[in-house]
């Protein structure tokens, strides 16, 4: 086999289960109870704002920034500041990650930054709202809630009343904590890339990364993908734009070391590879939640419960003992985010978790021996939905407002309201 021809012979044979729908078509309300509408018709239709648990102290070694971004992912936002400040992306501490097709106000921190370094910062998609200092770095635990303001257009009759009814139910039961398609990247294939990394299928990973066409790929990018899949690394590299960071990193490596596939995966920036691994975790979690879709707010013996006030977890013995805390939303059942140092369930719930991994043709040893270890954790099967609002606005559209905790997906709320999976080409987190 010639040095640049191996990729033409790569034909990944993914497990059948991992090629199923990213978010199962399971909704709590039937068609008569839901309504139709259009999602993200204008940039201002989807806005979010992070509300922190505590205010920054005003002094300390960490500079905290509150910024507004539009039509940028959080990763792209951080790269803009990293380039401007000549700092590594890894230096930035992010509270939460947001999608691309939206307007978002969010926080991040950076250690040992003189705020004067940003006095001349300007970017047409970014506005710095506030700069302050704190003794501690910001992180996910500092987020109290995300506040979302969303407009749905061209809605059907009785949408306001239906929305209030559904949101009212979820304010009591919680919202099923699915991952929507946005968590799987613009090409909706992060879970496949994560699976290939965990299984050490370097050639499958490279083929999927370079060949999968995205909804926003231009004709030039499509030609680049075609050339890459022919083994024409240098020619493909010339056509991929700078913002195709992972593809360019892999091609740069293959151009120098055409046979070293493991090295080609290792040069991808860590933040991008983490998203790919998270895609696999998210997919497996959705498969587990699919098996608990009618009992996402119930506890069973063997479950691991999540404490909403502390984010801690504990194994459930007799679920009847925990019923009062479950009913007042102090605790919730959890599902697996498989990885290293993973707190598993027991009994029949453990068997369900094992079945999910078996269907994906993965075992726990794959995570322990992975070149790219990812920490395992528990994720609550439901999320509290608070401060809900639904009202018609002047032009006959429906305006929604609600809050969700860190990591919970607002698109899932919209999908439950409309009883269908929502697709927005090119959008991602």
pLDDT per residue as tens digits for the range 149-205? 999 999 988 999 999 999 999 999 999 999 999 899 989 999 999 999 999 999 999
196's tokens: 């290939």
| 146 φ/ψ angles, rounded to the nearest 5 degrees | -100, 130
- Dist. CA 321–CA 266, nearest whole Å: 48
Q: What is the pLDDT of residue 239?
A: 97
**Nearest C-alpha neighbor of 304 from the set 331, 280, 275, 333:** 333
CB 335 within 8 A of CB 378: yes
Q: What is the pLDDT of residue 286?
A: 98
Residue with tokens 């969700």: 404
Three-state DSSP string of the chain: CCCCCHHHHCCCCCCHHHHCCCCCCCCCCCHHHCCCCEECCCHHHEEEEEEECCCCCCCCCEEEEEEEEECCCHHHHHHHHHHHHCCCHHHEEECCCCCCCCEEEEEEEEECCCHHHHCCCCECCEEEEEEEEECCCCCHHHEEEEEEEEEEECCCCCHHHHHHHHHHHHHHHCEECCCCHHHHCCCCCHHHHHHHHHCCCHHHHHHHHHHCCCCCCCHHHHHHHHHHCCCCHHHHHHHCCCCCHHHHHHHHHHHHCCCCHHHHHHCCCHHHHHHHHHHHHHHHHHHHHHHCCCCCCCCCCCCEEEECCCCCEEECCCHHHHHHHHHCCCEEEEEEECCECCCCCCHHHHHHHHHHHHHCCCCHHHHHCCCCCCECEEEECEECCEEEEEEECCCCCEEEEEEECCCCCHHHHHHHHHCCCCCCCCCCC
The torsion of the CA quartet 64, 68, 70, 72, rounded to 10 degrees, works out to 0
**Domains of the chain, residue spans:** 1-36+177-384, 44-144
**Nearest C-alpha neighbor of 257 from the set 245, 247, 267, 270:** 267
Sign, CA dihedral 366-369-370-373, equals positive
- Dist. CA 216–CA 224, nearest whole Å: 14
Q: What is the pLDDT of residue 4?
A: 52
pTM of the shown model: 0.94
What superfamily would CATH give domain 1-36+177-384? TruD, insertion domain (3.30.2340.10)
- Dist. CA 307–CA 334, nearest whole Å: 10
Specify the CATH number for 44-144; select among 1.10.40.30, 1.10.150.170, 2.60.120.20, 3.30.2350.20: 3.30.2350.20
Q: What is the pLDDT of residue 148?
A: 97
- Dist. CA 206–CA 276, nearest whole Å: 13
CB 98 within 8 A of CB 48: yes
Q: pLDDT tens digits for the chain (429 residues)?
A: 444 579 999 999 999 999 999 999 999 999 999 999 998 889 999 999 999 999 898 999 999 999 999 999 999 999 999 999 999 999 999 999 998 899 999 999 999 999 999 999 999 999 999 999 999 999 999 999 999 999 999 998 899 999 999 999 999 999 999 999 989 998 999 999 999 999 999 999 999 999 999 888 999 999 999 999 999 999 999 999 998 999 999 999 999 999 999 999 999 999 899 999 999 999 999 999 999 999 999 999 999 999 999 999 999 999 999 999 999 999 999 999 999 888 999 999 999 999 999 999 999 989 887 788 889 999 999 999 999 999 999 778 999 999 999 999 999 999 999 999 887 766 666
């Amino acid at each position: 086999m010639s040095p640049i021809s191996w990729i033409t012979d790569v034909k990944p044979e993914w497990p059948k289960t991992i090629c199923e729908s990213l978010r199962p078509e399971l909704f709590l309300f039937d068609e008569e109870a839901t309504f139709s509408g259009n999602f993200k018709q204008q940039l201002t239709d989807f806005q979010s704002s992070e509300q922190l648990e505590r205010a920054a102290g005003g002094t300390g070694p960490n500079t905290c920034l509150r910024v507004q971004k539009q039509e940028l992912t959080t990763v792209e936002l951080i790269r803009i500041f990293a380039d401007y400040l000549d700092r590594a992306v890894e230096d930035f501490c992010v509270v939460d990650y947001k999608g691309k097709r939206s307007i978002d106000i969010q926080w991040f921190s950076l250690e040992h930054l003189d705020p004067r370094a940003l006095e001349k910062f300007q970017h047409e998609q970014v506005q710095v709202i506030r700069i302050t200092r704190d003794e501690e770095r910001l992180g996910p635990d500092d987020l109290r809630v995300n506040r979302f303001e969303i407009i749905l257009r061209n809605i059907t009759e009785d949408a306001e009343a239906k929305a209030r009814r559904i949101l009212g139910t979820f304010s009591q039961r919680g919202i099923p904590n699915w991952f929507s398609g946005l968590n799987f990247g613009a090409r909706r294939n992060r879970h496949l890339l994560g699976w290939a990394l965990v299984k050490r299928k370097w050639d499958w990973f490279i083929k999927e990364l370079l060949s999968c066409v995205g909804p926003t790929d231009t004709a030039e990018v499509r030609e680049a993908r075609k050339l890459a899949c022919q083994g024409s690394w240098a020619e493909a590299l010339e056509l991929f734009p700078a913002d195709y960071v992972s593809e360019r990193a892999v091609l740069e490596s293959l151009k120098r070391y055409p046979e070293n596939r493991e090295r080609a995966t290792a040069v991808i920036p860590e933040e991008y590879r983490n998203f790919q691994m998270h895609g696999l975790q998210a997919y497996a979690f959705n498969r587990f939640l699919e098996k608990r879709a009618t009992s996402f707010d119930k506890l069973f013996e063997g479950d691991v419960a999540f404490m909403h006030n502390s984010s801690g977890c504990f194994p459930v013995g007799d679920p009847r003992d925990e019923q009062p805390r479950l009913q007042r939303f102090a605790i919730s059942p959890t599902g697996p985010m498989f990885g290293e140092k993973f707190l598993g369930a027991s009994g029949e719930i453990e068997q369900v978790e094992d079945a999910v991994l078996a269907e994906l043709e993965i075992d726990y040893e794959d995570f322990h021996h992975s070149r790219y270890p990812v920490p395992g954790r528990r994720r609550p099967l439901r999320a509290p939905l608070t401060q809900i609002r639904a009202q018609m606005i002047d032009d006959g559209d429906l305006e929604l407002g609600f809050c969700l905790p860190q990591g919970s997906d607002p698109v899932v709320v919209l999908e439950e309201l409309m009883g269908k999976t929502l697709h927005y080409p090119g959008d991602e987190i």
